[in-house]
């Protein structure tokens, strides 16, 4: 039985349909209030074979098109993630498991909630309650299988995996601690005596080697995030599909920087991030400056950067957010504090507008402004 989280069979003409969807998405991002681009996006999704993910995306976009939902930033972000799901489908990879419920959430809040296209056409089976009850007890009837590894075998791995996840969560411009944590995981893979965990740890080591030689691109960071997200699962080593998961993760880690970033995703991130920067400008222009609005704008920027795998921007936003509680509004209304925050916002805007190009001078200006701001803390 096909999994509901992945298309049942290869999608016909997927590349063509995705190109139409991307063209519409770019038009919508440029003029979201006008609804431009929604028609080709919905037409492309409607041409796909029935599947819960495409049906939910189509229903959400049609609802926005009808004016029942506003074209909010979070919905445009979801539309960008649907483009990622189309890319994964063309490579026979499963989509992000969180995408379907996030597409369905805004629809469930409407009164009455809209029906997905296929749900509106297919009658509900009278046996559905019985089948649902049967499905609920099937896992309880399944026989337990012998574990792959003994407690002694996995002792080193179980100690190294949480350390790696903690190091990734606290990552900074210095990638040394992360590389050391990966090597600990590699050491923990050896006693397991299984090729899959060892291959995954080796791929992680090679991927983290790239972090210090060149600035990490969004694809490399996305591959690392996806891998560590699965490693965080307590049953990763004993999961029935562990070998298949590793077979999907390793090529992504090994070829993360081989292809250029998606223009669509770059455009989506830049638009969302620049909207956040505009909120920072408005908060600074208030008299006195609105510290609460500044904090909200930085939180939104950090969230957008994390979704777009822009670790440097997320780090800068977090650093300024940590400094704000130490200032009174009037201390950012004039003088050194205000000038430094303005320099930070202006340099950040320049960095975002530069796209994927690395602007060392701009990064230096941002870091300098933050360091001087920290040094000017009252008391």
Mean per-residue pLDDT pooled into runs of 10, the chain (379 residues): 43 74 82 85 88 90 89 84 83 80 84 52 43 46 68 89 86 81 89 88 84 68 81 84 85 63 66 85 85 88 76 86 83 83 87 63 82 78
Contact in structure between 224 and 167 (CB atoms under 8 Å):
no
Tokens of 12: 């016909």
Q: What pLDDT is recorded for position 61?
A: 92
pLDDT for position 248: 81
| Alpha-carbon distances of 56 from 39, 103, 225, rounded to whole Å | 16, 6, 25
Among 271, 338, 376, 195, which residue's Cα sits nearest to residue 32?
271
- The two tokens of residue 359 are 């602007």
**Which pTM value belongs to this model?**
0.40
d(CA 101, CA 368): 42
Instruction: State the Cα angle at 248 between 81 and 226, rounded to 5°.
Output: 50
Cα dihedral 147/148/153/155 (nearest 10): -60
Query: What whole-number distance in Å separates Cα of residue 143 and Cα of residue 133?
Result: 19
Give residue 233's pLDDT: 81
pLDDT at position 58: 92
Q: Give the pLDDT score at 264.
A: 60
Count of all residues that appear for the chain in the document: 379
Who's near 77: CB < 8 A, 6+ residues apart? 268, 272, 304, 307
Specify the residue for token string 């979070």: 74
Question: CA angle at residue 355 from 317 to 14, to 5 degrees?
Answer: 110
- Residue 208, CB half-sphere, CA atoms under 13 Å: how many? 25
Cβ neighbours of residue 379 closer than 8 Å, sequence gap 6 or more = none
């Amino acid at each position: 039985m096909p999994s509901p989280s992945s298309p049942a069979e290869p999608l016909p003409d997927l590349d063509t349909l995705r190109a139409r969807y991307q063209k519409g998405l770019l038009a919508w991002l440029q003029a979201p209030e006008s609804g431009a681009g929604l028609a080709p996006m919905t037409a492309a999704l409607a041409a796909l074979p029935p599947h819960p993910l495409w049906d939910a995306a189509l229903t959400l976009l049609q609802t926005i098109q009808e004016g029942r939902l506003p074209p909010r930033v979070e919905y445009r972000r979801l539309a960008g993630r649907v483009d990622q799901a189309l890319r994964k489908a063309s490579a026979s990879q499963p989509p992000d498991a969180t995408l379907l419920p996030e597409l369905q959430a805004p629809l469930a809040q409407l009164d009455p909630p809209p029906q997905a296209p296929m749900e509106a056409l297919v009658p509900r089976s009278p046996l559905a309650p019985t089948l649902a009850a049967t499905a609920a007890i099937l896992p309880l009837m399944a026989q337990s299988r012998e574990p792959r590894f003994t407690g002694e075998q996995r002792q080193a791995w179980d100690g190294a995996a949480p350390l790696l996840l903690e190091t990734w969560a606290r990552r900074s411009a210095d990638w040394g601690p992360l590389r050391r944590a990966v090597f600990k995981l590699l050491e923990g893979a050896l006693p397991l005596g299984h090729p899959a965990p060892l291959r995954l740890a080796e791929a992680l080591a090679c991927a983290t080697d790239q972090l210090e030689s060149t600035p990490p691109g969004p694809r490399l960071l996305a591959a690392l995030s996806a891998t560590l997200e699965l490693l965080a699962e307590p049953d990763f080593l004993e999961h029935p599909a562990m070998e298949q998961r590793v077979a999907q993760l390793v090529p992504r880690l090994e070829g993360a920087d081989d292809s250029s970033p998606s223009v669509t995703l770059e455009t989506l991130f830049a638009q969302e991030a620049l909207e956040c920067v505009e909120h920072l400008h408005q908060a600074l222009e208030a008299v006195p400056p609105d510290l609460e609005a500044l904090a909200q704008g930085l939180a939104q920027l950090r969230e957008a950067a994390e979704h777009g795998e822009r670790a440097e921007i997320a780090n800068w936003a977090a650093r300024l957010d940590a400094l704000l509680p130490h200032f009174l509004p009037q201390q950012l209304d004039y003088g050194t504090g205000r000038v430094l925050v303005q320099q930070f916002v202006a340099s950040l805007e320049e960095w975002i507008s530069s796209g994927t190009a690395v602007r060392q001078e701009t990064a230096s200006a941002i870091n300098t402004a933050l360091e001087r701001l920290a040094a000017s803390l009252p008391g």
